Amino acid sequence: MFDGAMTDLIVRAGRIVTPSGEQDGSVQVRAGRIRAITGVRDMAAGATVLDVPDDQVVLPGLVDTHVHINEPGRTEWEGFATATAAAAAGGVTTVVDMPLNSIPPTVGVDALAVKRSAAHGKVTVDVAFWGGAVPDNLDELAGLHDAGVVGFKCFLLPSGVDEFGYLDRVGLVAAMRKIADFGGLLIAHAEDPDVIAAAPAPDGRGYRRFEASRPPGAESAAIDWLLDGTRETGCRTHIVHLSSADALPAVARAKAERLPVTVETCPHYLTLCAEQIPDGATQFKCCPPIRGAANRERLWDALGSGLVDFVVSDHSPSTIELKRLDSGDFEQAWGGISSLQLGLALIWTEAYDRGYQLTDVMRWMAERPARLAGLPGKGTLAVGSDADFSIFDPDGQFIVEAASLRHRNPITPYAGSRLRGVVHETWLRGARIDASSPRGRLLRRGVRA
């Protein structure tokens, strides 16, 4: 029975996206958690009431498990304050920070402590952390797991920064075996260095030459040896930022074998295509690269069928200078796209045109990422969950202006694009987010905030 005396906040709306679908009703919040979802007319004396306009929807806070925040060490690229402000502006209430591009990288318990200290008091949304798996830290992995990282990121080729090494085949299996021993999760940047070494080098301003320098076969080969390692060790394995649809048959076979394998892709692979990228437009550079329109449609089909599990940003910022906009040299430019603030609108724009519903988008961008990272109470509007949500106008439209973006270096390949879906406000644990008063928490795997 509904007990209004136990309610601090009531969110009343005609459209609320829950794990069972859309409904009207009242979300009853107590001490930052959802204690009931009741009839739209249920009230409680003394509770704050938020009446959501009829043209807007209550969405669960998004969970973005692929964010490079870079602080400390490269805070001029991005930092906790700016990244989490951008997240909140885009309806994201939980991010998971990648272990590289910061100095020190998160490859040991001491480095994790440095990272958490750097984040303390600065975060507008909740933040969890990945650890890293590199050639010389096998003995650190269990300690990092016990300290609460959500899993371990590895590269199978040079990462782009010297302080975060990559695993060869022997090192990969050794790390997988160690991680499997304590029930952890390995996530991998899957490109094969030998395939890339045999490909033509990128050369100046030509986008097609850059795309050819990191061919689809590099992803397919690396994913094959990741799947072989999963078969050998039983390690839970997650493939990050899949760009090439050519690897999907191998993923399908692995899932048919019931291997513990999951896959993500990113907004840029689902919204952009190589045919539309001008030469010299290094704001579009990322690794693996954006591929052709037909490949994009195959990724959408795989996402719709569940073969690709979810969508996260791979927010990978740098200074504007490192993007080499002046020369347009794809070989020299930093590879990364910053879309943390725009991800929801980007995906909803394309999903709407393809006949998908907001319930699909929330499964891809909130529920499943939270589940992979082991973050209880996140990613759904359900009894017992944290009261993390956004108020979203699904039919509102806007033009992307770089100057309006909250991340530190406002460069984007989406400048000038018209997108569908406007986030009006974002709430964290039952309180409206105010970027000037950060109240996000630092999370540990499996532990409620």
Question: Are 68 and 41 members of one domain?
Answer: no
Mean pLDDT of 369-391: 98
Instruction: Give the model confidence (pLDDT) of 25-65 as tens digits.
Output: 999 999 999 999 998 877 777 789 999 999 999 999 999 99
Give the pLDDT of residue 435: 87
Domain for residue 433, yes or no?
A: no
Mean pLDDT of 373-401: 98
Same domain, 44 and 168: no
Both 21 and 80 in a single domain? no
Q: Mean pLDDT score of the chain, rounded to an integer?
A: 96
C-alpha separations of 180 from 138, 150, 445 in Å: 12, 14, 16
Phi-psi domain of 258 (left: phi exceeds 0; alpha: psi -120 through 50; beta: other)? left
| Percent of the chain's residues with pLDDT above 70 | 99
Could you tell me if residue 138 is inside a domain? yes
Tell me what pLDDT residue 79 has: 98
Q: Domain of 46?
A: 4-54
Query: In 25-90, which residue ranges form alpha helices assigned H by DSSP?
Result: 80-89
Q: What is the pLDDT of residue 1?
A: 38
Q: What is the per-residue pLDDT for 3?
A: 53
* pLDDT number for residue 203: 87
Residue 250 lies in a domain: yes
The CATH number that applies at residue 98 is 3.20.20.140
* Within a domain: 435: no
Please state the separation of Cα 114 from the chain's center in Å.
22
Tell me the pLDDT band of 5, cut-offs 50, 70 and 90: low
Domain check: are 47 and 96 in the same one?
no
Name the residue with tokens 């993923």. Answer: 251
* Shared-domain flag, residues 154 and 176: yes
Count Cβ atoms within 10 A of the Cβ of residue 114 and give its class: 0-12 exposed, 13-18 middle, 19 or more buried: middle
Whether 19 is in a domain gets the answer yes
9, 95: one domain: no
Q: How many separate domains does the chain show? A: 2
Judge whether 290 lies within some domain.
yes
Same domain as 73, residue 45: no
For residues 151 and 132, the answer to whether their CB atoms sit within 8 Å is no
Per-residue pLDDT of 75-109, as tens digits, reads 999 999 999 999 999 999 999 999 999 999 999 99
Q: Does 31 reside within a domain?
A: yes
| Residue 38 domain flag | yes
**pTM of the shown model:** 0.97
Distances (CA, A) of 147 to 109, 246, 323, 335: 7, 37, 35, 31
Within this chain, do residues 47 and 168 fall inside the same structural domain, yes or no?
A: no
CA–CA dist 386, 19 (Å, integer):
14
